[in-house]
Structure 1
Amino acid sequence: MNNSLQVKKVLNNNVVIVTDSNQKEQIVIGKGIGFGKKLGDPVLSNQVDKLFVLRNENEQEQYKTLLTYIDEETVELINDVIVHIGTRFENDLNEHIHVALTDHIAFAIKRLQQGMDIKNPFLTETQTLYPKEYTVAEEVIEVINKSLKIHLPEGEIGFVALHIHSAITNKSVKDIKKHSELINKLMQMIQHSMDLEIDTKSINYLRLVRHLRHAIERISMGDIMEEQEKLAKVLKEEYPVCYNLAWKLIKVMQNSLNKPVPHAEAVYLTMHLQRLSRYDN
């Protein structure tokens, strides 16, 4: 933390606008950081347990807007859970989590008060794909529920987990949600086409979902895979049902991601599907 930061405006007890030595504005967030502060006062790193700094101008403006309609108690609580998230991961959190998670949780609380329940259709996939983020999200929701004496639904754990994953990987929540929705769609296709009741705790389900996640990420980045023509021919003859389904899944992935899918992907998907049909039927 730069010791030359000076207070420009106190937004509340936990949030202050400061200027650095170049007169550039930043927003500093920390427990009690704004208490008793006046214009021109210095902000020192040893004054609070943990400081977050919003340097991006767009993030600053969005955060200032949020503070105008969310009460200070809720803002402080969300800042506390973001500190908790930070302690549970070695990676630095992307500053956007202050805007995104504050906005999401405030809106979730409002929905709850209005009797609205938003379903999370890809909760199982989220738990499978991001187990540590999901565990920390459970802790976050528990803290919020206890502190505000409310009961946010289980689906919120999944949404918070996606925000946490976004903050530690610097990937947009929009892309993460899009990929989760695609995996959910593909898994529904598999269950319907193979007439399977898949055990979502089984190792084969876990492997398939994680394979789909990595495949989607590879395809999105345009990674090239080595062709597997000989193996593809064998699998097509040995497991025609799984091989044909693999190509149906590939077409859905191509349409959703608007990117070409390497032919080798049919080989890997066929093997996963065959394993799933053998052990989960």
Structure 2
Amino acid sequence: MIIRQILNNNIALVQRGELDVMVISRGVSFKKKVGDTLTLAEVEKVFVPDSHDVLENYSYLLSHADPLTLDATEQIVKYVEDLEQKKVNDYLYLTLLDHIDYALKRAEKSQFIISPLAWEVRKFYPEQYAMGKRALAIITETTGVEFPESEAISIALHFVNLSNPEIDIEETINAMEVMNNILRIIRVHFQLDFDEGSMNYNRLVTHLQYFIQRISAGEIYKSENEELNKQIRMMYPEAYLCVNKIRIYILDRYDREITQDEETYLMLHINRVTQREEREEQQ
């Protein structure tokens, strides 16, 4: 591999065959100059960008990252690889590096972000959340910078698609936001807090998960049992009013109407969980 550009003592841009790639290793560029050669044995990591723009972005990121940030990133990646028993892709390394670099810059100004998805990540991705907490501990141990535990939520999102590469992290985040907003609509409408450990609450959350998946995928759950729908509306008028608020939110978010059957099952789940909560509050 021929050195084309030295970014710093630890990072170089090299030509490998017909490709321009980035290599990283402690002291890999020390006392080297453009035109010198490197062997694979001399480098720890090789990044193969898939476009010129990506090459420029990652070159800048790697060359400007603090050595402690690079060290923390490498430790986290090794921890994840040991835990998952497989190599992670370069994209995870670079996105983690970018995240940690930005988080440390925010910390200098005491700017800490509280993720609105904290509950959802803990609930649906407990393993990734545990990984996020360990990664946060590694950052603190390496850099000496203390972070609130909420930062582990943001880091955990980087690990969500490790076990299932087909998961689209952006879609996952959107679905969690929609879940959070629907639950908020229900809480505000009925003016109550949920017992998150109750069976009815977990049934509601599970139903909403699949409901959101169907809505976002454009799938239609439809049998049009109009008589049942009418009966449920009459029996549970408050649940019906609440579902109408959810209907408006879904229409605004996805530009899709919910079906009559979706409405029926939402009313049933909402009534079950809210009636239980209201009874317990009155006791």
TM over 0.5: same fold? yes
User: What is the number of residues matched between the two proteins?
Assistant: 272
In our comparison, the structure showing a higher alpha carbon Rg is 2
Where structure 1 has 5 or more consecutive residues not aligned to the other structure, the ranges are none
**Corresponding residue SS for 1:280:** helix
Q: Which moved more, 1:243-252 or 1:124-133?
A: 243-252
Shift, 1:118, TM fit = 2.2
Q: Which moved more, 1:81-90 or 1:150-159?
A: 81-90
Shift, 1:129, TM fit = 2.3
Please tell me whether the aligned partners of residues 68 and 142 of structure 2 are also in contact (alpha carbons under 8 angstroms): no
Residue from 173, 177, 187 that aligns with 2:173:
177
**Corresponding residue SS for 2:40:** coil
Where structure 2 has 5 or more consecutive residues not aligned to the other structure, the ranges are 279-283
Tell me, in whole angstroms, the C-alpha distance in 1 between the residues paired with 2:27 and 2:232. 63
Amino acid at match of 2:115: N
Amino acid at match of 1:274: N
Identify the residue that residue 104 of structure 1 maps to in structure 2. 99
Residue from 244, 248, 265 that aligns with 2:245:
248
Structure 2 vs 1, CA of residues 116 and 228 (structure 1 numbering), >3 Å: closer, same or farther? same
Identify the residue that residue 201 of structure 2 maps to in structure 1. 205
Structure 2 vs 1, CA of residues 188 and 94 (structure 1 numbering), >3 Å: closer, same or farther? farther
**Corresponding residue SS for 1:223:** coil
Structure 2 vs 1, CA of residues 52 and 192 (structure 1 numbering), >3 Å: closer, same or farther? farther
Please tell me whether the aligned partners of residues 13 and 23 of structure 2 are also in contact (alpha carbons under 8 angstroms): yes
Tell me, in whole angstroms, the C-alpha distance in 1 between the residues paired with 2:174 and 2:125. 15
**Corresponding residue SS for 2:113:** coil
Question: What percent of counterpart residues are identical?
Answer: 24
Structure 2 vs 1, CA of residues 26 and 122 (structure 1 numbering), >3 Å: closer, same or farther? same
Shift, 1:131, TM fit = 1.7
Amino acid at match of 2:175: H
Tell me, in whole angstroms, the C-alpha distance in 2 between the residues paired with 1:34 and 1:174. 36
Q: TM-score scaled by structure 1?
A: 0.79
Q: Which moved more, 1:119-128 or 1:211-220?
A: 211-220
Tell me, in whole angstroms, the C-alpha distance in 2 between the residues paired with 1:92 and 1:226. 44
Structure 2 vs 1, CA of residues 210 and 18 (structure 1 numbering), >3 Å: closer, same or farther? farther
Identify the residue that residue 219 of structure 1 maps to in structure 2. 215
Identify the residue that residue 266 of structure 1 maps to in structure 2. 263
Structure 2 vs 1, CA of residues 94 and 165 (structure 1 numbering), >3 Å: closer, same or farther? farther
